[in-house]
Amino acid sequence: MATLDRSGLVLEFSDDFSTAELDTAHWFPYYLPHWSSRAATAARFEVGSGLRLRIDEDQAPWAEEWDGPLRATALQTGSRSGRVGSPDGQLRFRDDLVVREEQAEEWLYTPTGGVVELRARATRDAAAMVALYLIGDEKSPERSGELCVMEVFGREVADDHALVGLGIHPWGDPALRDDFVKVRLDGDGTDWHDYAVEWMPGRSRFYIDDELVHESPQAPGYPMQLMLTVYEFEHVAPHPKVFDVALVRGWRRL
């Protein structure tokens, strides 16, 4: 089985969340605020010995108008939108979305290829999901593809295995086709595991614990930002819902 080869790569982004404050040169601490607001989507988290993203008992839905009761806490590495009332915003997940709070362009880390990886623990909370995915900058509508490095539903984590979703979603990119799979991870998904995507022109590869688990003969060809997120689908105890992350790194090719 092929393994992730980091030779010929240069580390250009790294955060182990060991500082007392979140590094805002790396992370934008809101979740798609253009469809809602910064006030409603401000991230809840702890840093210092790794990152813990949280959804707390008193946390409201992030955008009830568009997404019902879904709650989310996220860190992003970029943001932009069009004017209030326009349909111009990133991750347009339904056709009738319009911008509620305009966002200036803010690009912190938007690679166009290489490797993005994280070390993280999933949750067994059946009401939650944790994920790292990359989305296009959407400076034009077709620059909207997604590379999902990992997503794990708590209901799909058992004592001896977990199902890990990964792959490509085209959204509004006509050059991409949907290529998303669920891979069985043997062992305890709530232990620390490494997840990575490697992409280059015309090809994307996905890894768990440095082992190749899926390959696709396609790849986005524009800048993409990271989306590190915990979701809650049903607001039920216990709280907080958490996503523990030890490390996020990005590599570029020489």
Two structure tokens written together for 219: 């790849």
Summarize pLDDT for 95-129 with one digit per residue, the tens: 999 999 999 999 999 999 999 999 999 999 999 99
Domains of the chain: 9-253 (2.60.120.200)
Question: In whole angstroms, what separates CA 169 from the centre of its chain?
Answer: 13
SS3 percent helix, strand, coil of the chain, rounded to 5, is 5, 45, 50
Residue 14's DSSP bridge partners are 249
Two structure tokens written together for 175: 């050059």
Summarize pLDDT for 5-35 with one digit per residue, the tens: 999 999 999 999 999 999 999 999 999 999 9
Read off the DSSP letter of residue 64: H
Summarize pLDDT for 182-230 with one digit per residue, the tens: 999 999 999 999 999 999 999 999 999 999 999 999 999 999 999 999 9
CA distance 232 to 242: 10
CA distance 201 to 238: 44
